[in-house]
Amino acid sequence: MDERELRQLFHETYDPVTTTSDPFRLLRESADPARLRRILVLAGGTCLAALVVAGAVLFGRTVVSQTVNLAAAEPTAGTAVTVATPTGISLRAHVASEYPTPRVAAVNSEVALVSVGDSILKSTDAGRTWQTTYAGRSDHAGNVRDLEWVTHGIAFAATNYGLLRSDDAGDGWRLVNARSDLRRIDFVSGGVGYAVAGTDARGSDWHLLRTADGGAGFVPYVVGLSPVTWIQWVSQTSAWAAGPGGIVVTSDAGEHWQAQLLLREGQFRDAQVGLVDEDSGFAYFRAAGSSTPAAVYRTSDGGLHWRSLGAPDTVPGFQDDQLVVTGSSTAEIVTQPAASDGMARCTSPDAGARWRCVPVALGAQAGAREVARGPVRLLTALKGDRVLIATSADRGATWSTVEVDASAWTRR
């Protein structure tokens, strides 16, 4: 079970939050009929009084208007007031174009989502066929920066023009927040979630936000680390956040955060963490410059001790490295080797002590992202003006591929 499967099970178990309120719940749950009658009588009286007052106010306004404007012409029909929704704002407002960064998220080995620019595709047959469920903006300026399943029915996509939400297993999408600074998301439930946000594409100002209303609103969330480039919840109470300065942890549902690993300023550019349970996991730090190699750390005691390990040879400062934790002592890194133009998958079977990097002979150049579901691997990457979607049933030994035209986004 990898860290994404763990997150999926966690979301399915702890998702009591509904996104719509029920104003009549207290009436229905009342066990006292007499109390119920009193509430209804009181509510009815209040409504009647409100109607009387409203009628008097309206009558008074009419009399005054007629007295002052005796010669006025007959009023014309008023223009309806339109309140701009996040969707309306996103479709009309100018959006700074971003080069596509293909993203992938999977519920299981059969059902998955992939992004092409800000278009979202869904597969229900282990990646053999894909159907577009969200077409994206008509100007193709949009880009999905992160994709996440929360439960089998709820999914989110963070784009450069806001947060998209699906409540029907990825078949339909709506924009619930028009923020343009969301970079990465990690939802605890359909209602509560966290986002890494920032305006600097390189991550120097990235920080955490929290939502308690399904993504409609976010507030700053301080964990004692800045910048923050990653956050992962693994239970109702435990989470880890990471950035170039180290790792912090909470074990009381975010009430308090403690530093676990502190690193020298300027040594690394960003960080990722992947925990498969409350004890075991990895952390990956990307180098800030050519003089500093990337670093991998591992913990087997919930982060009380992080052991430094060797890391695969990568291009310094390369932006598309990704850590995929596949077990308590196994992990993979999708990267670009220094001596190659293409992508490579580096695997470690022995808790990160050794890494074996094998080129991915798929013709892709950049932007690779991978998810693991047991022996199944699903990988996306850019291949010129196309997005490559590759699936493997044998942990990456062999691949089958589908290519999707992305020229509308790459040739803007």
Mean pLDDT of the chain: 82
Q: What's the confidence (pLDDT) of residue 12?
A: 56
Q: Residue 48 pLDDT more than 90?
A: no
First-last CA distance in the chain: 40
The CA–CA distances, whole Å, from 129 to 121, 144, 168, 400, 401 equal 10, 20, 19, 11, 10
Q: Residue 365 pLDDT more than 80?
A: no
> Are residues 163 and 180 in contact, defined by beta-carbon separation less than 8 angstroms?
no
Among left, alpha and beta (phi > 0; psi -120 to 50; other), residue 152 is: alpha
Q: Residue 47 pLDDT more than 70?
A: no
Q: Over the stretch 147-202, which tens digit does the pLDDT of each residue have?
A: 999 999 999 999 999 999 999 999 999 999 999 999 999 999 999 999 999 999 88
Q: What's the confidence (pLDDT) of residue 51?
A: 46
For residues 397 and 66, which has the higher predicted lDDT (pLDDT)?
A: 397
Cα(396)–Cα(412) distance, integer angstroms: 33
User: How open is the CA angle 192-283-6, to the nearest 5 degrees?
Assistant: 45
| pTM of the predicted model as reported, rounded to 2 decimal places | 0.80
Cα(243)–Cα(71) distance, integer angstroms: 71
Q: What's the confidence (pLDDT) of residue 359?
A: 84
Q: What's the confidence (pLDDT) of residue 293?
A: 80
The CA–CA distances, whole Å, from 220 to 1, 86, 177, 198, 212 equal 32, 20, 15, 12, 12
Residue 350 has a CB neighbour count (10 Å cut-off) of: 10
